[in-house]
Amino acid sequence: MTPRSELLAVDIGNTRVKIGLYEQKKLMTPDVLPQPEQMFVSPADRLQDLEFQLREFLVSGSAKWVISSVNAESEQKFLDWLKAKRPDDMIQRITGHEFGIPTTVDVPEKVGSDRLCNAKAALCLKDPGEPALVVDLGTAVTLDVLSGDGIFRGGAIIPGFQCAAKGLHKLTSQLPLVDADELRLPEFPAANTVSAIETGIFWGIVGAIRQFLALAHEERPALLILTGGNAYQVWEALLNPHANAKSESMICNADRSVHTSVKCDSVPAKQETDTQTLQEESGFIPVQMFHEVICCPYLTLSGIALCGTGA
């Protein structure tokens, strides 16, 4: 039985539907990013998978659903499914503008709800005066800047792993379609066409994040926050200058949590390291020498949940 005190945050993306189950009383702590009690993920076209996953949590009683969507077709299918299966439940659809986050973009009402929910959640993680780059690695990769004083300044949007792979295949006559969703530290240089596509997509996105992170610098280095389906692989690559498919070792502070709900201790900058030598040996400087990095797979869901409580 789902108590009335529980809330279900729903993130409807282009390819997946993600649900986070939260206790509402745990959403009321100011400036603390809440952590879901449970997470459920399903392809957007297979809602029956969610029904199976949720069966033990939604036996009876009522629940509150807070929904953010960037996919109108999938949203309507989800709402039809929800109203048929849970007719007595409360449903709240949000745009992200409920937060009232100040912004400098040209048309604020056109900013996607996922980006604004990420920004709201990121405000719980960054320090006052600290800028942040929030990277959501989904079908599209969004890279959004929060200024030190909490203003949403917009950012950049680039193709995600699968989107880039499909684009290369569709817009060329000879390049094969590559399944890029599970890419992890592909080798460079690549020795064949498929590997070359995998390497180009993966390290191209990693390189873009590094570049935009440098551009997000203000008076102090920007906090980097990663979320989305491919966040862990990118987190690993950014922290490991010797990252390679043949090497499992991580050159970073072992105390840093991959799936963290609170801000981690900073990875100490190795000031004594000769950065020029490190560049020559590994190809690039590890991000954590100058930036704190957080990987939070439920960032969007927690932003949605906060909106549902009016926090």
Catalytic residues: 114
* C-alpha to C-alpha distance for 197 and 176, rounded to whole angstroms: 9
Q: Rounded CA gap, 92 and 106, in Å?
A: 27
What gap in Å lies between CA 201 and CA 159, rounded to an integer? 9
Residues whose CB falls within 8 Å of the CB of residue 98, separated by 6 or more in sequence, listed in order? 307, 310
Q: What is the CA radius of gyration of the chain?
A: 20
| 8 Å CB contact between 6 and 62 | no
**Edge-to-edge strand ranges of the sheet holding 140-146:** 152-159, 140-146, 132-137, 223-227, 293-295
Single-letter residue type at 271: Q
Which residue type, as a one-letter code, is found at position 54? L
User: Minimal CA–CA distance to 116: which of 157, 71, 154?
Assistant: 154
Q: Which amino acid is at 126?
A: K
93 touches 67 (CB < 8 A): yes
Question: Which residues 6+ apart lie within 8 Å of 272 measured at CB?
Answer: none
Region of 54 on the Ramachandran plot (φ > 0 left; ψ -120 to 50 alpha; else beta): alpha
Question: Helix, strand, or coil here: 271?
Answer: coil
Number of H helices, E strands in the chain: 8, 10
Structure tokens given for 156: 């950049």
